[in-house]
Chains A and B, each alone.
Chain A
Amino acid sequence: NAGVTQTPKFQVLKTGQSMTLQCAQDMNHNSMYWYRQDPGMGLRLIYYSASEGTTDKGEVPNGYNVSRLNKREFSLRLESAAPSQTSVYFCASSERGFEGETQYFGPGTRLLVL
């Protein structure tokens, strides 16, 4: 039982390049989330998915797209990377998305955009 896994762990991109961050969970959770963490800041929600086939915008969705490929996987795509997207990206999941539930976090992807 690996919990929440993310790939890659590190990535360096040039401005304008695209990439997809992958996330998978093996806990049979319905809800999944993408956050970004900037230095000295708390986590901010980019997108979330209540269940397979549904996605919704969070606090900072501009410049990103997501796909809930199936119940296990939730990917985040940067179509044209910008230096402002340099950050650490965390994926999380929870069983049903209810308040008070534990959100389980992956180890993060560290992205540098030059």
Chain B
Amino acid sequence: GEDVEQSLFLSVREGDSSVINCTYTDSSSTYLYWYKQEPGAGLQLLTYIFSNMDMKQDQRLTVLLNKKDKHLSLRIADTQTGDSAIYFCAESFRGSTLGRLYFGRGTQLTVWP
């Protein structure tokens, strides 16, 4: 099970909260990640959560994990125009080769003033 699904687009107004959602199929995932890709750049790790956690907060970012529904979300509080980017959900599995990552297709977040 390496299927990671994300909606492709999200548009929010500056100052609002953004919620980016992700579903995955394999319950043996051990770590779930959120990466950010700005235009013309590589991916940057934003945060990750271990599969035995339900929530992780890091400044404006809140990650929620619902293991029963295999659903992961990333909430960005007080979204700014600089948050406009593509956000990728990814997972890794216990014993997988080299901590190999499986990525979703990415959600394009557009923040308008």
Contact = CB atoms under 8 A, between A and B. Distances in A.
A45 B100 contact: yes
B42 interface: yes
Interface string A52-89: 00001010000000000000000000000000000000
A107 interface: yes
B99 A101 contact: yes
Contact of A99 (B30, B102, B106): B30
Q: Which has the most chain B C-beta neighbours within 10 Å: A45, A97, A103, A107?
A: A103
A90 B43 contact: yes
A105 B100 contact: no
B45 interface: yes
A2 interface: no
18 contacts: A33-B98, A40-B8, A41-B105, A42-B105, A42-B106, A48-B97, A48-B98, A50-B98, A90-B42, A94-B99, A97-B99, A98-B99, A99-B30, A100-B30, A100-B50, A103-B45, A107-B40, A107-B42
Contacts of A105: 42-44
Contacts, number: 68
Contacts of A4: 42
Interface residues of B, number: 28
A111 B96 CA distance: 29
B66 to A, nearest CB: 20
Given A40-B8, A45-B101, A99-B94, 16 more contacts: A31-B99, A40-B105, A40-B106, A41-B105, A42-B103, A48-B97, A48-B98, A48-B100, A58-B100, A92-B43, A99-B30, A100-B50, A100-B92, A103-B99, A106-B42, A108-B41
A35 to B, nearest CB: 8
Q: Which has the most chain A C-beta neighbours within 10 Å: B99, B101, B104?
A: B99
B88 interface: yes
A99 B43 contact: no
A28 interface: no
A106 B37 CA distance: 11
B47 to A, nearest CB: 10
Nearest to A101: B99
